[in-house]
Every structure is written in C-alpha cells, then in structure tokens.
Chain A
C-alpha cells in the first residue's frame, strides 16, 4: 500500500513542511490558550493552529463554522496535490476515511459564558457536517466514512482506507485525522487532574499530564502500481495495520498494555518483520503519569529483541491533538522515513526509570537509517490502533 501524498494543519501552521520544520527545529508549540477564557483554570495551555494560519485558510478552502472542517479540507487538498492527483474527477474511485474524537461538537463550546450556555446553531449536533468543506473541495466518488473510536481515530482511518484499497473498493483513499481545540476537553481533563500546567513531558519522571491540541493530518493511499504508473514514486508505504481493545476500563489502559502488545505483534506478523526491524516507535506518549509507564513497558515487552526499541513521542512539541494526533504522527513518520531522522523527545529532561526497557531518543533526535516506523494510538474506551510504515524503496520495487 503506497502513501502517495501527505498533508497537515498543525500548531506549526499550514502544511507538511511547517510541521516537519517544527519537528527538526525542536519547537515546543504548547502555550496559553487564546481562543477561550481560561483565566479561572489551573492549567491554561493548549496547542492552537496559529491565528495567521487560520486566516490563511480563507485562500485555501471555503468558509465553515467548524475550524476542524476547514483543517480537514486544507490537509486533504495538500495531500492530493502532493500525490499529483486532482481534487475532482469522476473517473476514479476516491474514498474519504476520516477519524475524529468529537467531530463538530466543539462548536458548542463557543457558547460557554458566565452563568450559562448560549447555544450556537445546530452544527454541533450533526457530526456529518464535519465533512462539508471536504465535500466542497474534493470529489468523493467512493465511500465517505467518519470514524470516532477515541484518540486512536487517525490510525483507524488509515487502516480503514487500507482495507478499502486492498479489497478493490477504491483506487484512492484520503485518510485523515482531525480535531479542533475544545474547551469541553480542557474542562474534562481539568476535572480528571490530567492536564500539565506548562509542558508535556512524555516518559519523564516529572511528567504531570497532557495538553490538548488540534489540527489535521492526511495520508493519501493508493496501490503501488497505480502510483508508479503515473510516473511517480511512493513517499512511503503502509506495511501493516492492527487494532484491538484493552477491554478493561473506560479511562485507564490495561496495566499490562494488552491491547497495545496485541497490535504490535499483529503488525509485525502481517508484515513478516521482527522486533529488531523496527527503527522507530512513534509513541502515543501523552505525558500522563499512568499511561506513559504502561506504554513503555508494553512496547518493551512487545518488541523484545536484540536491542531496546527506539521510542519518542511528539506530544511534547504538539500536545495531544486527539483525533488528529495519530494522523499527524503518521505524516511525521513518512518524513522520518524519507529523511532518515528519528525525532527526539524534545521536552524530556529526566527519563523515568520505569521506562528503562525502551531506548528514549534524546531531545535532539537521531540521524540514522529509518526503514520502518511503528506508530501506535489509544485512548478512552480502550481502543488501540497501530500502523507499521515502511520506506518507499521497497514499495517502488
């Protein structure tokens, strides 16, 4: 399965290049939330798509009350352009597979005011509206699928697109994850005492919680021979996808990371690879005390080989973009494969000894051959979705 194009809208701005530059420049994009009044909140940080980038969306996609709808369309257009595919055309079978956590519900947040809720319109009750702008800008002749399995949404969307192509249902799959910064989520995580006050520090002994973010990531998938027939080279390939559930607790991962271990093994089995073949584990790594330790142990167990698995999390830089997180991380993984660079744990100061079974990448990152990347995601409800990406050379034959 070839990845022929990528697109992104993130805290770094519009475009994949802005995202990758932020990664390599080790920019930490968490900061005070400006979109909502957070003055009464003990933790007031988030990651917002910069206001200048939001303004710049006007020249890229039609207007819509939902920022998420516009992020999604902008990233999809970039992905198709990157793949050398027109946005419109009835001759091809193009499907859209979109992952989200809250869809348009954050529209409701805008009515939160002193003493009550001034309910704006109806769009927050119609999740399908999230796709409005995408449908105006991209001609979807195949299925449109909106997945909302929790924070694994981006990987779920990529996996659904892979299945659709493998079955011959579509020729092109636009696979996306998208999210809009939500005051409801900030309020929820405040009550759960799960927010970091200043910085997300995945796998650090002093990690204190996560910080919500937003954006959209897109992978355009096609059969390899279709990309080659157009005279292009795939950017990378999806080697395998696997999904599972912890079946344990609505908010806590299984203490043994059962679901994650299962998906890691599932990906390796399907790809015919071993633990030692994985060059980088792009971790879920939210920076919460409980989750990171479980994830580190599960990865060490699932990838036990001749060397400790090489692990880093991007959430120290980009926060947790929820529905967009896994898709944005997949976009970064594609670039990591192309550039032979493993991003670092930029905010890591003192590695947690409980994470000793994994090789935490130093903040500066590592320039090293990268042939395979494992990217995992999980969230509330216990759903886990993992993808294994590989370099372009073998895809192109």
Chain B
C-alpha cells in the first residue's frame, strides 16, 4: 500500500513539475534557513561548554552604588583572591586571580609577535580544563614559566616540542615554556587567550601590582577573579556568602559605594552580559530568541505555501478522491495517502536543504563570524533534521490531507464540485499571514539599518580621517615623547603627534573624588579621565567651545583641566572657565571646554570626561598623517622612525576610523543576517503567491475566455486577477504595522542614543510588498489575459 502511495505521489510530482518545483523548492529554502539558524543557535548556546567544569566556573563581579544607581564592574582588589581562599575554602574548588588580558609582545630570538594573553594563578589551567599537548596542568607553578597555545607555539617554534625553550614577554620578562595547550574552540570566551603567564611573575615585575599586594590594597580594583565552586554547591548561595567581603575590608570613605560581590556563572557570560541597576538584563540572548522566532516563521511560511498549493490543486485531485472513495477507499486510507505524499515532498526538500546548507555554510560563517562545521556525524543533528522533516510533513500535509479526503464522491463525480468558500478563506488567511510576517521582517531590517546609520552619523567631536593610533605595549618608548615627535614630524609623514592614556575609541580609566564649588555633598561623581600630551588637541582636531587648549607657554597648564561639554553639564558648573576643581589633593583650574568626543559606544550618550596633561601614564601614540603624502608612504616612513627607537617592536597600528567602525560590527552583523532572512521570507512568500496566482488564473481560464469574447481588454483582466491579491497584502500591512512598531520600539530601547521610527519606514515596507505582489501576480495574470479564449473555452 505504502509503495502504491509513493508511486502515485511520484507521478503527481513529475506531472506537475512547476508546482512541485515551487512546493519543494520553497520548502527546501525554508528548511535550509531553519537548519542554518539552528546551527547558529546551537553554536551560541554551547558557548564555553568545552570547559569540563562549565557548570561550576564563575567570575566574581561587583555591584557598586553611586548616586542611587548600581553599576556592575569586573574589577577586583588584589587581596580578594587570598581572602576567599583563606576564609571560604570549603566553597571553592579553585580561586584564580587574573590580570586583564591584552596584547603583548612575545619574542624568541629575533622573532617578535603580538599575542593576546594574561597573567593568571596556577589553578587556571586545571579550572579551564585546558587540553595540554605538551606539559601538564602544573605549568604555571614556577614563576618564570609560560604556557602557550598551539597556534602561538606553531608561529614561534614551528612543529617541534617547545618545552624548555626560552622566550621574552613585552621585551622585559624572561620565561621558559612549560606547556602548550590545544587551541580552544572558536565559541569560547577564552578563544583568543594565546598565552598564560604566572600571576607571581606579574606581581614581581610590575611595581603597581606589587604595591597593591604589599599594602593589602582593598580600595584598588584592577584585577579579575575567576572561581570554580565546589561541585554540587549552588552559585547563588555562595554569592550571598561572599557578598560583603570587599565592603567589610574597605575604609570608611570606600564603603559609600557599597560594593556587593556576586558570582557570574560561566553559562551566562556570553549570552547574558548586560546589567542595569544591579539586575541582569540579558544581552545577546535576545538575538538567539529573535533568530529562533525568525527561523520558525520562515519554516511556517514555507509550510503555508505547501498547504496553499496543495489545497489549490485540490480540484484537480478531487476527481481522484471521488473515484477512490467509490471503489472502496476509506477516509483514513486517503489521509494516509496524502500524508505520505507530503512526506515524500518533504524528504526531497530536506535533501535539497541539506545540500544548500553545506554549500552556503562557508559564506554564512563569514557573515556571522562563526566557525560552524556541518555536523555530518552528530546523532542529535540527524535526529533533529528528521524531526523537522516529520513535523513539517505533518504540519504542511495535515490540512490538505484532511481537506481532500473529506470530499463527497457524489459531488465530485457529478462534476458540480467547486472548492468551497472555506477553503478559499483558509488560503487567503495563509497569504495574509505570510505577508504580515514578511512586512514585519522588512520593517525590522529597515529600523536596524536606520539605527546604525543614525549612530554612525553622530558628531564625533574630532576629525577621525587620517588618524593612526599605536599602543605602547612595552616600555621602549618611555621618555622619548619629544624625540619621537620631532623625528616623525621631520620625516613629513605626520603633521602632528601626541600621546594619551586611552585610545580615541575608548575611555580606559575613570575616577571619583572631584570637588568643586556648588557640588552637593551627596553627589559622588564619576568622570572619565584621559591623560594627554600638549599636542593632543591639535593632533585629533578637537573643537573648543569655551576657553583655550593646553599650551606649553603656560607652565601652570600641567595642572589645568579641560572638560568636555557633557562633564560641565554633569557637574552643573556655570561659566566654567577659570573655576577651580579640587582632585587628588590639588587645585586644578578649568581652562577650556571641548565638544563631546565620541569615544565609547556610539549607541550611548558621550560620557563626562576630563583631559589633563600627564606624560607618565600614556600608553597610546596618536598620529595625524600628512594629507599631502600617500598613506602607504607615510606608514613606511613612520615605521622607519619607530624602528630606530624601538628595534624589537613589531610595527602595529590602527586607523581610528577603522577602529570606530568596529563598534558597529555586532549591529551590522545582526542587520545583515536579519535582512537576508527577511529576503528569504519575502522570496518564499512570493513563490507561494506565484503558484497560487497561476492556479487561480488556470481555474478562471473559462471565465477569462468568456470575458475576452465579450470584449474585456487585457488591462481589465489584469485588474480582475490582481485585485484580490492586492486586497490581501493591504490587510497584511494593516496587521503588520502595529506589531512591527511595538517590536522595534522595544528593540530600540536597548540603545540610549536611538533613532526614531518614521512613517516612511512603514510606507516603504508596505509599498514594497504591494509592488512585489503585483509583479508576482501580474506575470500570471497577463499570461492568462493574452491567451487565446477559444482554447480555454474548448477545454470545458
């Protein structure tokens, strides 16, 4: 029997090649999208799961309160690690203090490379369950050792076993390789951690770290702390135990910020990293949800096509149903027949979809910045795919099966059979659903695009073109500011040079303790601090709205402050020029106010910031290239000059405009993915519409023939056939607009600096949908309208 079902299904498929192509092709596209989204979601939610102790690892974070607002910070004071080990030993399997990870120069002989890494306590290797290729988890116990990733080892030592080899970190620390770990998977937080050096080395080599150890400084938070709790104990109960550990050790003035420690579980690091007022507000997880919903919708659209085309074809199949019933088929047997037919279609679609996925996966990876591999041998994947296939064939096949099998044979065979109103209402509803979803997706894509544009076109407060930044990763440039500046300017490669403590695309430090006349005693200010050289303003081209720039002509400028406009507003100082701000036990005169410089997130308001002269703490060199020279010529000249002063440093630079553009990467990725999926949704909907229109034209061929004979023009007929579809799409617009508005309003609320949703966004989506509908339907309508009426009438 089954054999027979498949036989007739196959012949139907072959006999109606057009419909089958639309049906199976549409379904395959939908499934391919769902599979891709599924792989993507799997990759996202298995983030960090390569660590064996995934469930028990956490980072210690702190909520600090200032001016009634809780802020969440990642920085911990030095003594905290030892304190947890000493007093809460029964709660923790491992306690690992760590430096912030950053780019460092690693050298072997005359080979110098820049790699991201950090200093961690010895338990790090065991806690992260690193896969050691050479050496073991004891690799960090000796303070002059280093453990490196497989990739780092390959670059520095080739394929040989590097255990025991000597190398240098930051041209300063001599270490010996004690271990090599396998590269971590792409979807891990520590993926870019290319080396780990011992914490003790960090402490002994950097004075400021040593000071915070020797003076037991609870009020200086500059480190990270990772822990692994004892298996079986509970994150939140451990969190509440350690909540006040920092608070209890702080001197009275520090207690004001009321730090509350808590554990941030590894499973939330990637997807739930947003905090607002001490509460976790999710994060990337919203995109996982968003894409899950899009995936389901796309599959739904494809299923709708399937149902629509199948019921549309029902008149053709009606006769067959009538005959089968009159020669003894039960309803159940017919349902089985139609379900096996839909199953066959779905299996073809699945095969096609899998092939599609294999083909586009590389492009998809690039687009989504992933390294997803096709899971050929993953049992879950196979089960999931077959699950999707069965679910799809049931969803898509059930309505046609029930509908077709319930035809009454006598009506069908008498020839008086017409598919009822209910079927056509069902079909119309499905078309409306399809277009509603498509329009929502289009509106969403336009709004995301608009938000990105809006943020990109914000005033920067400086001139970012032709600006190059270099990070001073070692101390080679120490005390060479003036020599370097002279040499570079003389080379004509740059027109100005300066240094700063933060790159132009970030504000790395901020501080409190500012006092000024008129400040309310309850107000605890937190102001971004940027230490700069005298030539900073000229280099970046900032704009002073009040007062003047720093100048070497005034020796007192060494203690002067320049604030940005946001800071002046934040502090509430009127007529700021000449006013005194007290900070760090010193008076500082305000000599100027600059336009806000957009350094941090382009989606947030600019942070209040102060600029002051300091040549000690600067770690970034900023260069304004000479516009009269080509960029490549300038860069070559710069490299020559720099090599003269620091021969062991690789020449690594960033263009400020590129670094700024990177701030949009996440949003742009979302936009690209969303727009591709929206495109798929529209395409699948159109495919369905095309099939349906062609079917309607075929059904009405007799009517069209008669109308033509009595004098209808092609335009009349086109109007006749298109009208119904246009009505449906307009209805879809009316439903989609409020839903899309509400959804996008919600999304925009993630951003403090947000665009508005103008009426034209909806106009574009709606008119676009109408035009696409008309184009799709017109092809069929015109084809039917120009055909020879005699032919159509004769077939009756």
- Are chains A and B native binding partners rather than an unrelated pairing? no
A residues neighboring B (CB under 8 Å) = none
> Which residues of B does A touch, CB under 8 Å?
none
